Structure 1
């Protein structure tokens, strides 16, 4: 089985990082009389931006370990393998399973241990590694922000500019910028009414340099870019920064704002005369008494006036939409009034309060037990680090693992109780919303929520041209009523 080494550096700025890691691995391999058979190198590859599968050398290394071809691995530090906590633990579990002899070449790097307490230590260190990586990213972002605001690095530049990394200066392409200036000047006039007209005008201007084929989308993008009035915008991790670069300006703010007005006017959608959607709130609930099939929505046009119905074409049942929906709504109100008279609300509140109190008490007891275990874990981990006797260390390892498993079980119990409490609250709000709808008669509110109400309360409405039989989603309450068919 092979002895190998793995090296990684995040960026090409760290010139000596790979060579430094290689030299330290070789020095330590000489001391331990181990010959390095193969080296795996991920050069200028960030473990934050790249997953395990995207880092080719690490992926090959893990495959070789999986195939049990490797016995010893030299690596500088844990963070060379991964900075993400979950990815590091995934690698750790593979190393432990295959019993890989991992040798860290950096000074003061705690040796890896394949034991219950060792896994807990690796879990803690994985969190530290990830936080260190996040702090590095934060420092890099702060540097980018500072350089942007000081005018050192303007970011990705649009058409007409290029950035020289060697001299750290921005160069203007005056020929290209003359095309951009032409676009702004024309957009500010009253003679152009669309982006397409502006494109056509650009195409026929032979005296204007044409180093690219312009599209309407490209023209929009250019006119909307504030760089051409000297203002650069940087969006980094959701934070928007602005900085003024006077050397980039080719138009003043007044001309740029006129171009924005032009874009806004040309982007206005054409008004479409759309009829509001008609909501058939009882769709699927109205049943023909004769054929037992649902009535279907139907629209009648007479004298340029629309009327809306539910109908069963086969049995000549046709009833006006607003009439039947109003009758069913009245029946629903009566249904709930009957329930309310039987102290439904008080019974429900009593049920909810009793169950919430019971669940909260259970949750408090579990949280107290969880905190007690947390204190034990901290105390016993400190003892493990200080203990020199191997037998005592083994005992502490077993105790730590048992406590850790018990704490995870308690965590799951707390999550389950939180979910049950949330469901009780949801049930209460749902009931209140349905009750409020029955006493709230504002037309638009009722129209919007009526379908949901009927679906929740009404089981079916069986009718013919003269009678209606409503069955609610309640085992003891139905309503029979005469229905007048006012439309022949």
Structure 2
């Protein structure tokens, strides 16, 4: 596969002309102009153009780039003789994606023409192309780094700042808003003086209402050197931003970073706790609608509420009630009943379904064989009838296979319940709480005065009112 200005069109195969821009602000003019020098001798109806406009190769994987996907599909179908593209980085920025593309091109014996003046010719040597692909990936990483650095130095907007647009003679300036400057300073100062995790949780709660930001966003504010009029390089060097009015000193900012590092584990645990939800969603006992989960403040659990009725329950209260109810039901599970029902009912039904599936498979195989042996192009109506009969049987078989899978999954749950019923509840609840909830509890209804639990496997329970353990 040599790069050449003279491209040969083989049979019905087409020349694929591929173009891509990473953003809507970029133009195709350079790529198109350079590529057309190589396409001028190719008849227009032999060229298929594939354009990915405003499609970033660093943000979207190759399967999410529609034009590239269509081109590769046509190559796999044997419909492309040559690909014309400006440079390797137009095809991919990720080396593994580039390897996939090159492998497809090699496999289908497709020529590739890179039109950029300094682009090395496409090679038959996969190792050589991998090396070129790595170069494209590193360049993509450099672009991402430059863009991230530019956003850090010149954000489009940032809480507490007014941005004064750049002019011909000066760059954009960031002026601190008076109403925010004191509040943000107090946030940094208070945080720097915190001595316990409770202090930190209270400081974040205190500033949430004014700043109107989440716990996570407030931590991000505290970690942003922009507020001290600096940016921090990858090697940890603080660089002054002359166009930014600082709200805090560099010394105070550094003190806060030390405090965040000191309490990193407690901060993360507090944020996780505030967002933690129940394994099973509770419902309103009045309107039967799923209760809405409201996140807690940092360091405190959330709660569930019904917007229409005065029904609410905290996460911890719900979890404790679930454990208490499971404890009652656990003591009433009858291992002997489970074994009896499992053997006599479930396995029998499963065997019948498997026997039925084998019979249908045999029918399908017989029909397929008859169809191949008896097929004649002149008897289309008879062929269509046979095909429909085969498809109907296949649909029926799929339904039976799905039933078998569901029953086997349920059987596995039943055996699990049988096994754990013979263990100590306190040990089981520690190790298998989530599994127990998913397998045993079908629904939780929260009423103003009580909670109702509906359970699966009622037939396996000993005597007692256990349908609604509340």
TM-score, length of structure 2 as denominator length: 0.41
Largest Rg, 1 or 2: 1
| Higher relative strand content | 1
